[in-house]
Amino acid sequence: MQAVVAMSRRWRKQRACGKTRYRDDLQAKRVLQNIATFTADDDGVKVPVRWYRCKGCRGVHLTSMTLEQFEATQRPDGTEPAVA
């Protein structure tokens, strides 16, 4: 797991959204695959399962939320609810 974190730190860039930013889908996919390889046996640990494009920084981020979970949090008009 430490190797994955080190690799992730090497490439990440902090942007206005405050999340780890990857330059493109390919880089995010490679990091996601490495994380999956090294965390396959860890129980109870949030593990990223997909990547998505951020409208705020125009970068790519990883998330542990499945697409179905994300869609369940969206309003019918497609906007995200305010976070309290």
Amino acid identity for residue 74 in this structure = Q
Q: Are residues 22 and 61 in contact, defined by beta-carbon separation less than 8 angstroms?
A: yes
Q: In this predicted structure, what is the pLDDT of residue 79?
A: 66
Helix (H, G, I), strand (E, B) or coil at 22: strand
Region of residue 63 (phi > 0: left; psi between -120 and 50: alpha; otherwise: beta):
beta
Q: In this predicted structure, what is the pLDDT of residue 14?
A: 54
Residue with tokens 């640990």: 45
Q: In this predicted structure, what is the pLDDT of residue 58?
A: 84
Q: What is the pLDDT of residues 64-83, one digit of tens each?
A: 898 898 888 887 776 666 55
Sign of CA dihedral 76, 63, 32, 52: positive
Q: What is the pLDDT of residues 40-70, one digit of tens each?
A: 666 777 888 999 998 888 889 999 898 898 8
Domain boundary assignment for the chain: 2-7+15-73
**In the structure, what pLDDT confidence band is assigned to residue 84 with cuts at 50, 70 and 90?**
very low
